[in-house]
Amino acid sequence: MQASLSTSSAATASQGDASGPQEVRDRIALCCSHTEAATWELGLRAALPHATISAWPHTDEQAECAIVWSPTQAFMDAHPRLRIIFNMGAGVDALMKLRLPPQARIVRIEDGGMAVQMAEYVSHAVLRHFREFDRYEASAASGAWAPRKPPIRSDFPVGVMGLGALGKRVAWSLAQFDFPVFGWSQSPKTIDGVTCLSGADEFDRFLSETRILVCMLPLTPATQGILSHASLSQLKPGGYLINVARGAHLVEEDLLRLIDEGHLAGATLDVTQEEPLPPGHAFWRRPEIVLTPHIAAQTVVREAIAQIATKVSAGLESPTLSGVVDLGKGY
């Protein structure tokens, strides 16, 4: 992969030379820590034929624009002129840990095909728990035809924490199944069919109204460890946690303790403190915990490239630029 990146970067650099001197802003540095790097590079080159795209570690140190996923500090230090850093995903927590050039703004992917995936994943987890499909699977596995009493929907209010583009879509989707749905966010929001609460003052009320809690918060110093004994014990008895945000939101031993104490029925976790989840981790042995390997919503590369290319083409100082991260808030 590394060889193919440097070869194609060299090819683009010479294209740039052939078409004459190039605006510095058209030089884009690409840095991603996963295996899609080559796909991104090819896609970006097709979407932005006038730009020179170079991939880390063969990047142009004059670049004012970067497109990244989990870049290293070395990448940031090598590009002091960056004015805009496009994040290939929705969560920017990995970027917020780095020292960025002081003038740089971060722009995250807005929806980009992820909201519908989140809605699918969370609806599936809520419905699987509510309709007791895990029990029917166990009955079927043991050859038992064992109907159970239908659950009562009003006994399963769902609370969605974090009402950004993805959280809104999830809350709205759950409301379509007629669950009582509560939403909680830092600033007030309005969503059809959802009782929206906000701020620290309404947090305890939000928790006490909720039986199935869905975490979709950005990870910031203020939200790290927010899913703790103190918060989860306020859920209605038989509470259930769905975490599709970041593993660091959850105090893992508090979840196990609340399941053992019988206050929580279980959890669906797409994210964990350590990823991949180590083989000996207690979560693997808990039948009440459904685990998936951080796949709830994956960046749809084609849509993400189209979104970034549109923003790059509009100009780095475009007044209509959206998806800009508030560096003070961290999301």
User: Which residue ranges make up the site for ligand GLV (CB under 6 A)?
Assistant: 89-91, 299
**In the bound complex, what is the minimum distance in angstroms from residue 291's beta carbon to ligand GLV?**
16
Residue type, 37: A
How far, in whole angstroms, is CA 31 from its chain's centroid?
A: 19
Task: Give the nearer residue to ligand GLV in terms of CB position, either 91 or 157.
Answer: 91
**How many CB atoms lie under 10 A from the CB of residue 117?**
19
Token digits for 51? 């730009």
Angle at 146 between CA 143 and CA 148, to 5 degrees: 150
**In the bound complex, what is the minimum distance in angstroms from residue 90's beta carbon to ligand GLV?**
4
Give the E-state strand segments of the chain in sequence order. Answer: 27-32, 52-55, 65-69, 84-87, 105-107, 158-161, 181-185, 194-198, 212-215, 239-243, 264-269, 289-291
DSSP string, 57-87: TS--TT-SEEEEES--HHHHHH-TT--EEEE
Half-sphere exposure in the Cβ direction for 234 (13 Å, CA): 15
**In the bound complex, what is the minimum distance in angstroms from residue 258's beta carbon to ligand GLV?**
25
**In the bound complex, what is the minimum distance in angstroms from residue 123's beta carbon to ligand GLV?**
18
Task: Give the nearer residue to ligand GLV in terms of CB position, either 54 or 299.
Answer: 299
Among the listed residues 46, 48, 66, the one whose alpha carbon sits nearest the alpha carbon of residue 56: 66
**In the bound complex, what is the minimum distance in angstroms from residue 110's beta carbon to ligand GLV?**
11
Catalytic residues: 246, 294
Contact 255, 241 (CB under 8 A): yes
Q: How far apart are the first and last CA of the chain?
A: 32
